[in-house]
Structure formats: structure tokens, C-alpha cells
Structure 1
Amino acid sequence: MRAFAISAALALAGAMLFTILTFTATPEPLPVADAQRRETLQERLRRLPGDHRGWARLASQYVDQARVTGDPAYYGKAEGALATAARLDGRDDAVLAAQAALAAGRHEFTDAVRLAERAIAANPYGVAAYGVLADARAQLGDLRGAKRAVDRMMELHPGVPAFTRASYAAELRGDLGKAREYLEMAQNDAWAPADVAYTRYYLGELALHAGDLKSAADWYGKALTAYPAYTPALAGQARAAALGGRLTEALALYERVVERLPLPQYLIEQGETRIKAGQRADWTLLRAQRKLFAAAGVRDDLTWAEFEADHGDPATAVRHARAEYARNPNLVAADALAWALFKAGEPAEALRHAERATATGWRNPLLAYHRATIERALGRPARVDPAFDPTLSALARFS
């Protein structure tokens, strides 16, 4: 599922993801009176250690760095900064919003909702808290609640963060035209290079999931033109190349992707592309990343449910999928549970969850493939898209 974080906006969601895959521009250092020099936030906090909002902002930067670098150790640093901020003023909306963002980054979406709502109660005009609330409610399967939060964002500040979330809500309803329209509005509103890259990347994702690989690759290229360091767009190029049969090109791109950002999703995509090319997948780094994220307090049963269903032990996949769905009963978790149950030999129970995953009209090729395959196993008529390649299923996951 798509994760949303634009510049200073604190958000996630996104689905995907598998692990939270957001990207933000590197925060600018805070200016000081001397126009010849710019003071970093850390320097400011050494000078003004009682600045609770400064500590909250530092925590937010650490959360962003965890997402950008794939290093979950930044979550621990964020927790430390927030402990100081909360000691100074635990009722401030900026502190509460940063705490919500950290909870969301660790996939503790119930806590994220609680903290975001407290931030909103303290300041009903705080757009960042509504962003976290929208994404966390979506992760919990509360799409109506997520829409209310997005609508409020649109009222308060109809900019890039609001437009991208509105786009995702439309995509979940199956309204791809409206989803594209909102993303185009976001692109027109964006000015920072990272924001422009972000909007272009998701225009590429819409095209990719619609089967238009040429348009998708074009959008990914435009995203990298705007911001060459934007790794998701490089991964998008790798995806488009692999799905287009250009496996040597795709593998070269994936090498660059995982050197920059060895997130589990990218490692799984790389492994599947290697298998497709007749090579052996090496999951060593993936399993190491799993341990690192777990040690940092990140609960990511979704990634491991999907991975074990396709490449490991179906019983383990079911265990992870049930745990994920119990905490976060969203469409992606429902699909993961359905597929794990199917792989474990339980197609009847699997169908119930596959129907839940596709109930909103979301036209995602992976969901459609999973449901059709399950229905066929039960002897029901179902059309499997012949263009969908199940050997590269991770490349169709939700970003």
C-alpha cells in the first residue's frame, strides 16, 4: 500500500507496503540571525535544550531517515528525542504528531491513531497529524475514517500531501481516472524536487499496475530527472524492465537499488527477478534485514506472510498473515491472508478473505490474480489475466 510522506509532512501508509516505504527531502537546517551561516537543528538544540518542538522535529527527521536509508536504528534515536520532547511538554501537538509518526513507522497503527487524535485535539489545524491519522486508519481497514481525515486535509491545506492521499483513496475505490487526476494536481502543486519526483513516481505506479509499461518507465525517468537520488523511481525502472522481459537490465538496476536502500521489498523483487533469469536467489541479506527491523521494534508480519507464501513455508505464512490481519485488517492484509491460506491448502477460507480484499473495487493485478486462482481451485469460473506473471508477484505489490 502506498506510503505518503512529502517534505515535512509526517505520514505513511502506505502499504505497501510491506515495510513503510516513504521518502522525504533532507530537512533544511534552521536559519539563524547571521545570514552568512545556517545552524543545524542539533546545534540549535545544544544552544536551546528546552525547545520541545525542536526535539519533536529532530525525532521526525530521524523517522524520515529510517525510511530513506532503510536503517531501523533511527527509530531508536527518534524515541530518545521524543522522550526529551515529551518531558518538556508532552501535550504539545507537534510532539504528539511526531509520536504518532514514530508509532506508524513501527507499524503500531492503533497507537498512531490515538496519538494523532490527541495531536488534533490539541491543534485542530495541524495538517501533519491528519496525514498520520489518514494513513493509520487506512492501515487499520477504516477507509471511511481515512477519507474523513483526507477531506479535512483538503479543507485545511489542499497541497501535495492531501492530493496524494485523495489519489490513493480514489484508487482503492477503483476510480483510476480520479486517482490520476489527483496525482496530476499534486504534481502541479509540487515545487521541491523530492516532491516532484514523488508525484511522478506514483503516476508511474498507476501506469505500471494498468499494464502500460512504457508510460510507467517514462514517469520513473521523469521522477529521477527531478531528483536523481529518489530510489523508489530507480526501483520502478527495474520493475518495468523486469516485467517487460529485459531481465539483464532489470538486475543491473536492482543492484543499484539495493546498494542504496536494502529494504525487504526491493530485496524480494531482486530475488524474484534473479529466479526469472535462471539464477539462484540469495535471501541472506533479506533475513538479516528482518532481524534488524525486529530489533528496532518494527512489526512487519505482512512482508513475511507474503514472502513465506511465495518462497517459504505456507504454515509460517499463515501465522504471520493472521497476526497482521488481527492488528491491521486492511485490504492488503486480507489479500496476504487469503494467499497464505490458499498456499496452505485452505481455499474455502482463503476465498472469504480474497473477497474482502477486492470488495472496494480496487483494480490491483495481484489481488485479481490471487482471487481468480483461489476461485478456480474451488471449481468456480474465474478469469486469470494471461498478462500477469506470477513468478514476479512481488513486483506487483502495493507501493
Structure 2
Amino acid sequence: MWKTLPLLAALLAVAACAPPQAATPAATQTSSLQRNAESLQAKLRRTPQDASAWAQLGSAHVELARVTFDPQHHSRAEKALTESLRLKPDGNGEAFIGRGALANAQHDFAAARDWGRRAVSALPDSAAAQGVLVDALTQLGDSEGESVALQRMLDLRPGVASFTRAAYHFELRGRLDEARGALERALESASSPDEVAFCRLHLDKLDGRTDESVEATRELASKVPSPEHLVRYGEALDKAGRSAEARTQYDLALRQLRALGGDDLTAALISADHGDPAEALRFAEKEWAKRQSVFTADALAWALHVNKRSAEALPYSDKAVSLGWRDPSVLRHREAILGSLR
């Protein structure tokens, strides 16, 4: 296994004595990103040959899609990044980063890896370029490559973006104390209310302190209408006996996934738990053909199990926990699979 991240280990060692930094007052992330996009659009009306500004506009739309879940921003990002690359096809590191981030957002992780490598080649000292690679390689199941890219990102810029990725790195390997330490370090580095909220949310999830009541999940889904939060809201409704309302949330989550470019892994899990088992298996097998990560292994194992093929599911369940990942839903899937084989 790859060595412990040296810079992160050193930073975590001093985290306990480092005073927390106060979050600075700021507008919401969405309005800040929107203002940035509008400013770039105004600039491009004056200087339409500015390849860098087109790349920045594309990246801004990728981020807007991430926080608003509006698929129109993906098409806008595509147009802006295409124009940047038309104006500057070679060595355009900013556009390579943007294209990589867009590919990651659309779950085309092989393309994201390739764009990330081009970005790193053009901008070897860019933490953002390394971040594109970390995200793609994590999802592709390239543990060694992901670790190397993450270490380089930490070397270049130890901040919220790199610390939260480090936390995920540790969580997937069952090293929860180190994951918690990385998130605490990220929280200390946070400089906006949005970053603070993001870090605290993930710390609470890691510690199992999330509120799964109907009201709490409804509020979360209204603020951040991601497929994950819509499903959590649906599950809370299900537990409250409001199955018809729950079904609406599951269907909305699936429609959103398709609108954003198709996330067959998440669709497989939603369908396995709340929809058609046969459809869940089709989604999972399609995703497994593209990438053999611990995430797809869990989804395929669960899809096979709900189709009453638990013996076939077990090897995939084994792979899902092979790094040490101990996510509660993954363990629940594994326990059910093992239980059916006893």
C-alpha cells in the first residue's frame, strides 16, 4: 500500500494547537459564482479573444452546476471551454482544468483523467490540476495514482480543497481518525461560511451525527437539492409512512441524475432500494464496464443481491471493502449479502 501522506501527517500533528480561523462574511456561494460569471461575460464582450477568460467562465459554470444542480450550466461550460481551446489549443492549462472538472461532474472519469494529465503537463504547479486528477483516479479505482496526485496537491496548496480530498482518501481506507483530523484541518482553513458549513456537514456524517428526521432532510434537500439529499429526504418520508411522497423524491433524484449527464452508479443504488431491481442491475453493470472502483463494486454487489444473485454478489462486496471502506450503507449491503448465503 502507498505510504502515509507525509505533509498531511505533519499538518495534522499541529492541528490541535492551531487556533481556528474565523470565517469571513461573504455572500452565498451561488451568488458569488454568478457575479463572477457575469463579470467574465462583461469582460469577454470587450475582449472576445481572451482564451483565459473563456476558460475561467467555463470553470465558473462547472461550479454553478455543482451548487445549483442546473444542467444548463454544463452546456454553458462546454461552450466557453470549447471557445477557449479554439483560441488557444496548445498549452491551455486553464481550459484543460475546466474540461477535466466538467468531465468529472458528468461522470466521464476516463476523460477527466486524460484532461487532468494534460492540465498537469501544462501547469505542473497547479493544485487545481492535481485536484482534477485526484477526483478522476479515485472514481476509476486507481489507488496508487490517486495517492500520488493527492500528495502533490497537498504539497502545492494545503487548504480546504486538498484537506477534504485527503479526508475522503482516509475514509475509503477505514482510517477514520485521520479522516476526521483532515476535516478538522480543512475547517480551520475555511474562509467562507459555505466552506465552514461543508466541513461541518462532513464531520457530522463521519461521526454519525446527521439528523435524518423528515424536517431536517427536507430542509437540506431544499437548500442543496442533490440526488443524495433528495434520496435521504425520501427515505425519511418512507420511515414516516409517507410512501407516495417518498416515491416523488426518488423519481426526482433519478430525473436529476439523467439531466446532469447520467450517474449510473447512483441510479443503480436508488433503483435497487426504491425502484426496479432489473433496472438497478442494468445501471450497475453499465457503470462497472467503465470503472472497477470500490464504489461500483458495492453498487454491483447490491444490485445482484436484490436480484437474488447473492453468490455472484459476494466477490464484488469483498472488493468494495478491500481498502478498508466502512461506510454504513456498504456494511449494510454486505451484511445482507452474507446473511442470505448462510
Between the aligned partners of 1:372 and 1:290, the Cα distance in structure 2 is 26
Unaligned runs of 5+ in 2: 1-27
In structure 1, the residue matched to 2:244 is 281
Query: Are residue 253 (structure 1) and residue 223 (structure 2) matched?
Result: no
One-letter identity of the residue aligned with 1:27: L
State the partner residue of 1:81.
80
Does the residue aligned with 1:116 lie in a helix, a strand or coil? helix
Q: Per the alignment, do residues 160 and 317 of structure 1 end up closer, same or farther by CA in structure 2, a change over 3 Å counting?
A: same
Residue in 2 that maps onto 1:241: 211
The aligned residue for residue 59 of structure 2 is: 60
CA RMSD of aligned residues (A): 2.0
Residue number in structure 2 paired with 1:304:
267
Alpha-carbon offset, residue 29 of structure 1: 5.2
Question: Could you tell me which residue of structure 2 aligns to residue 71 of structure 1?
Answer: 70
Q: 1:28 Cα deviation (Å)?
A: 8.1
Which residue in 2 is equivalent to 1:47? 46
Change (3 A) 1:90 1:41: same
TM-superposition CA deviations, 1:264-317 (whole Å, max 9, x none)? 222222221111111123334643554454355x12111221111112221111
CA distance in structure 1 between the aligned counterparts of 2:191 and 2:232, rounded to whole angstroms = 31
Instruction: Tell me what 2:13 maps to.
Output: none
Residues 58 and 274 of structure 1, relative CA distance in 2, 3 Å threshold: same
1:358 aligned partner, one-letter code = V
More helix by percentage? 2
Q: Deviations over 1:320-379 (max 9, x none)?
A: 011112212211211111011011011111001000001111121111121121112111
- 1:126 aligned partner: 126
Secondary structure of the residue aligned to 2:112 is helix
Matches within 5 A, 1:217-236: none
Return the match for 2:329 from 355, 363, 366.
Answer: 366
* 2:133 equivalent to 1:169: no
Which string of whole-angstrom CA distances, capped at 9 and with x for unpartnered residues, describes residues 170-191 of structure 1? Answer: 1111111111111111112222
- Aligned twin of 1:351: 314
- Residue identity in the other structure for 1:241: D
Cα distance between partner residues in 2 of 1:254 and 1:173: 28
Scaled by the length of structure 1, what TM-score is found? 0.74
Match of 2:258 among 294, 299, 323: 294
Q: Write the deviation string for residues 231-277 of structure 1: whole angstroms up to 9, x where unpaired.
A: xxxxxxxxx332xxxxxxx2223333333443322222222111111
For residues 72-109 of structure 1, what are the alpha-carbon distances to aligned partners after superposition, in whole Å with 9 as ceiling and x for unaligned? Answer: 11101111111111111122100111011111111000
Show the 5 A alignment for 1:171-186: 171-186=171-186
1:27 is displaced (CA, Å) by 3.3
Closer, same or farther: CA 154–115 of 1 in aligned 2, 3 Å: same
Q: How many Å separate the matches in 2 of 1:285 and 1:370?
A: 22
CA distance, structure 1, for counterparts of residue 225 and residue 87 of structure 2? 36
Structure 1 unaligned residues grouped into runs of 5+: 1-22, 31-38, 214-239, 243-249, 380-399
Matched residue type, 1:186: A
Task: Point out the more displaced range, 105-114 or 199-208.
Answer: 199-208
SS at the partner of 2:243?
coil
Contact residue 314 and residue 340 of structure 1 kept, 8 A: yes
Distance 1:343 1:306, change over 3 A: same
Change (3 A) 1:269 1:116: same
SS at match of 2:244: coil
The verdict on how the C-alpha distance between 1:195 and 1:288 changes in structure 2, with shifts beyond 3 A counting, is closer
For residues 49 and 118 of structure 2, the distance between their equivalents in structure 1, rounded to whole angstroms, comes to: 22
TM-score (norm 2): 0.85
Please give the alpha-carbon distance, in whole angstroms, between the structure 2 residues aligned to 1:264 and 1:187.
Answer: 25
Deviation by residue 1:53-74 (Cα, 9 ceiling, x = unmatched): 1111111111111111111111
